[in-house]
Structure 1
């Protein structure tokens, strides 16, 4: 057999919250019912998701998750980000719902991936679809870059924001004098994002200020284009934070 289709069925507190969120990301509603139980179907191109409502469901306690393989994680992230900016004037980077940025995941063969945590607390894990994933590919050269990859596994795959921040803080202290400036910017940008997830605006502002203070060549700015754009997004989030 071939051409099978699997559609995840995920829990939520309110199917109407789910519809509003995924419509923002460019999904269309394909199915909707309230009885005998709340259920909704959503689709964006070939990506299909279904959700069922549970009374008194707590999104923060959800174990709902699925993996989505796509040809271009960056393009899909930017499409989702555009929807968030249009609806909220910024990216949603903390709390529920939120979205992480595409980063290479050491625990999945250094394949680029990002996650959506939707209003139901479900983790929609989006990865680049490639048969070339290899644990030994694209190994970072500096100790700081290696620590950042380790932090990403904890922060973006496991959701352990606190431990990811500890890893980065330790690595930044030990290696800030020897790491390439590009690795410093990457690490500080991720540290700022982790701080916002933890509602630590002081640490977020500190990491952003340190990243902005670094001197970059034109070539380095070009290399860090996506990361520098992430600094803009994080600063926009801080505009309405005390």
Structure 2
């Protein structure tokens, strides 16, 4: 048992805005009061969050932000997504609330972000990630490195230079909430590396389709998914890109609704 414990107190407009959302994520409401002031606490495993309600509060103006370190970001994301689908019929990816997908983000730890109905950001990373010490950089506005806007400084990884492009875009969209900047990064990177192998281009195309969908441009998202569908993949490439292909399928299902 730790001798010291920090529990963040986060704002919201109404407790009934945030508590159903956190219940869907698998949290238990451990305390709630309406008077003398609306206040509630939730807990899931070792994560405990407290909320106070301010009726005039606008979630879009929230600066609430919490860093959560967990053993397995993929496992937690899967659990969160299942809970959101069961409670609300879908995983929100745009607006407030929303949840991003787990990705490596340039200059920060790999992970994903949840923005709750109060506009508070939960920045979720894997405990012990080698980039964990850089997590504090998520509050900045830079591109997270010296590679340039298209990420051309990195030639490593299965996606070659486009691996860095996607990571840089993820920092902009998923860490900063600047989807427009991320779209520019991806479009510039795809144009610069037009000669990259189709399998290397696919993750960038899928992420760009997701961002176009997030920003209310379903026609552009559909065009990008058609380009994804046209990519010929070997069995090994299909296995390696299973997560990206699943994301593409999910976006396609949302567009077809």
Where does residue 179 of structure 1 map in the other structure?
Answer: 196
Give runs of aligned pairs for residues 84-123 of structure 1, distance below 5 A: 84-108=84-108, 111-123=109-121
Where does residue 252 of structure 2 map in the other structure?
Answer: 235
Query: Cα RMSD between the aligned structures?
Result: 2.1
Where does residue 235 of structure 2 map in the other structure?
Answer: 218
Give the TM-score, by structure 1 length.
0.91
Give the TM-score, by structure 2 length.
0.86
Q: Tell me how far apart the structure 1 counterparts of residues 66 and 256 of structure 2 sit (CA, whole Å).
A: 33
* Alignment size in residue pairs: 237
Where does residue 170 of structure 1 map in the other structure?
Answer: 188
Q: Tell me how far apart the structure 1 counterparts of residues 24 and 181 of structure 2 sit (CA, whole Å).
A: 31
Deviation of 1:205 after TM superposition, in Å, equals 1.2
TM-superposition CA deviations, 1:72-122 (whole Å, max 9, x none):
0000000001112222333211111110000012222xx321000110111
Give runs of aligned pairs for residues 179-198 of structure 1, distance below 5 A: 179-198=196-215
Q: Tell me how far apart the structure 1 counterparts of residues 119 and 256 of structure 2 sit (CA, whole Å).
A: 25
Deviation of 1:183 after TM superposition, in Å, equals 2.6
Deviation of 1:138 after TM superposition, in Å, equals 10
Decide whether aligned partners of structure 1 residues 16 and 154 sit closer, same or farther in structure 2, where only a CA change above 3 A counts: same
Give runs of aligned pairs for residues 1-242 of structure 1, distance below 5 A: 2-108=2-108, 111-130=109-128, 132-133=130-131, 139-140=156-157, 142-176=160-194, 178-240=195-257
Q: Tell me how far apart the structure 2 counterparts of residues 61 and 130 of structure 1 sit (CA, whole Å).
A: 32
Q: Which runs of 5+ in 2 are unaligned?
A: 135-144, 146-153
Q: Which runs of 5+ in 1 are unaligned?
A: none
Q: Tell me how far apart the structure 1 counterparts of residues 2 and 95 of structure 2 sit (CA, whole Å).
A: 39
Decide whether aligned partners of structure 1 residues 138 and 184 sit closer, same or farther in structure 2, where only a CA change above 3 A counts: closer
